[in-house]
Amino acid sequence: MKVLHIITGLGDGGAESALYRLCVSDSKCQHEVISLTGASKYGPMLQEAGIPVYCLGLTKGFVSLIRIVSLWNAIRSRKPAVVQTWMYHSDFIGGLVARLAGVSRVCWGIHHSLLHFENSKFSTILISRLNSVLSYFIPAKIICCAESAKLVHQRIGYCKWKIEVVSNGYDLSYFAPTSLGRSNIRRGLNWDEMVPVIGAVARFCPEKDYKNLLSALGRLKRDGTFFRCMLVGKGVSPDNELLTNWINELDLVNEVVLLGQRDDIPSIMSALDIFVLSSVSEAFPNVVSEAMACGTPCVVTNVGDAALIVGETGWVVPPSDSESLYYAIKLALQDSRDKVQWKDRQILSRACVVQNFDLPTMINSYHRVWS
């Protein structure tokens, strides 16, 4: 089966990484990818894996008729059995053009949960509402990456009987505990094995609510708790003036290190004792599953499917509540001192991901929907 994927862009994000894993790991289908914008992070990686990638070159806020015609021609020339779109803008543009190009099996992909005017662009919210009407006419199926996303989009008017949930899946030979990676990361930061290390991996944006995490860490320092924290992600670097100002204001200069974007995430996750998700909005937060697959217990805000992912292995607190986040992190640090019970929690964390979110399950679920 030839599957043509249309995605808004190929930067560093959860939907983009899921697309990459699906394309490079699925041996039963022939995959090609069209990015409405540029190649960014995953474009070269897909091409290196033998997946054809075509970049349309649209610019944000401006839709060119010539580019849309190019998209129509690209779809017509490839004659895919299925067009799988990813995220709101590509659902709208890619889905509409695919239907005009004669493709009947169009599957939309939804990778958002809650949309708020404080944290989301007006255009994104507008497109999501427009898509709710078009969902009755354009897609044959709508794939949500999370149960929470399904419920939210049903409530705002998406066609209920077309929606299927396909949870993200992970290469568990790659996302696995690595003692060598743990020691290398800690040695590079001059932290020994006994230092309790907290961490987060997320790009810098309002939805990730780094201020919430830092406020909780500030409270942790004030009560005399010893810890270190590493923050990883796009824009999470020493040249981020807003982030460094928050760290200075909360007197966390000696506790928090900013490592920017990294490509050694299994080593980063393995180097942590506790992973923290402090977001105000998520659908299916990949980083939580990735941390757990590396044997790292998690403290998460109750957003998207985060609570569903951690189950009984971690701690769940309300979003935007630094006090609750502080207490949960403190409790996790206290529990980590019991090495025997903590080892059991680490094993259970990985087992939860192995049982529920492995890559073959995700691939088979996409096959089922496409068929």
CA separation for the pair 23, 147 (Å, rounded): 23
Residue 272 domain-assigned (yes or no): yes
Question: What pLDDT does 117 receive?
Answer: 54
Across 127-145, b (16+ Cβ under 10 Å) vs e yields bbeebbebbeebbbbbbbb
* Residue where a domain stops, chosen among 113, 144, 166: 166
| Alpha carbon distances (Å) from 252 to 15, 91, 209, 259, 322 | 32, 42, 17, 15, 15
User: What is the reported pLDDT for 216?
Assistant: 98
Among 166, 200, 224, the domain-final residue is: 166
Same domain as 330, residue 244: yes
pLDDT digits (tens, 9 = 90+) for 224-236: 999 999 999 999 9
Last residue of a domain, one of 135, 166, 197: 166
Residue 185 pLDDT: 97
pLDDT digits (tens, 9 = 90+) for 202-218: 999 999 999 999 999 99
Statement to judge: residues 194 and 339 lie in one domain: yes
Q: Choose among 309, 269, 292, 307: nearest CA to 348.
A: 292
Do residue 244 and residue 323 come from a single domain?
A: yes
Same domain, 161 and 204: no
Number of separate domains in the chain: 2
pLDDT tops 80 at residue 119: no
Q: How many CA atoms lie within 13 A of 194 on its CB side?
A: 1
Range of the domain at 136: 2-166
On whether residue 298 sits in a domain, the answer given is yes
Interatomic CA distance for residues 322 and 220, integer angstroms: 11
Residue 361 inside a domain? The answer is: no
Query: Which of 9-13, 240-244, 313-317, 356-360 is predicted with the least confidence, judged by mean pLDDT?
Result: 9-13
Same-domain check for residues 196 and 329: yes
- Average the pLDDT over 53-81 and give the result: 91
Is a pLDDT exceeding 60 seen at residue 167?
yes
In tens, the pLDDT along 252-307 reads 999 999 999 998 999 999 999 999 999 999 989 999 999 999 999 999 999 999 99
Regarding whether 132 and 218 lie in a shared domain, the answer is no
Residue that wins the pLDDT comparison between 124 and 95: 95
Residues 279 and 216 in one domain: yes
pLDDT of residue 177: 97
> Do the domain assignments include residue 363?
no
pLDDT at 241 over 60: yes
Verify that 200 and 324 share a domain, yes or no.
yes
Confidence at residue 220, expressed as pLDDT on a 0 to 100 scale: 97
Residue 242 resides in a domain: yes
> Are 154 and 199 members of one domain?
no
Domain shared by 280 and 314, yes or no: yes
What mean pLDDT, rounded, does the chain reach? 95
pLDDT level of residue 64 (50, 70, 90 thresholds)? confident
What is the rounded average pLDDT of the residues 95-114? 93
* % of the chain beyond a pLDDT of 90: 91
- Domain of 139, CATH number, reads 3.40.50.2000
Let me know whether 6 and 41 are in one domain: yes
pLDDT by residue (tens digit) across 337-371?
999 999 999 999 999 999 999 999 999 999 999 99
pTM exceeds 0.85 for this model: yes
User: pLDDT category, 61, cuts 50, 70, 90?
Assistant: low
**Percent of all residues in the chain with a pLDDT value above 70, rounded to a whole number:** 98
* Residue 122, pLDDT score: 76
In a domain, 187, yes or no: yes
174 belongs to a structural domain: no
Would you say residue 368 lies in a domain? no
Residue 114, pLDDT score: 66
CA distance 131 to 133: 5
pLDDT at 180 over 80: yes
Specify whether 160 is located in the same domain as 20: yes
User: Which pLDDT does position 113 carry in this prediction?
Assistant: 76
**Higher model confidence: residue 91 or residue 61?**
91
* Angle at which helices 339-356 and 286-293 cross, to 10°: 120
- Residue 9's identity, in one-letter code, is G
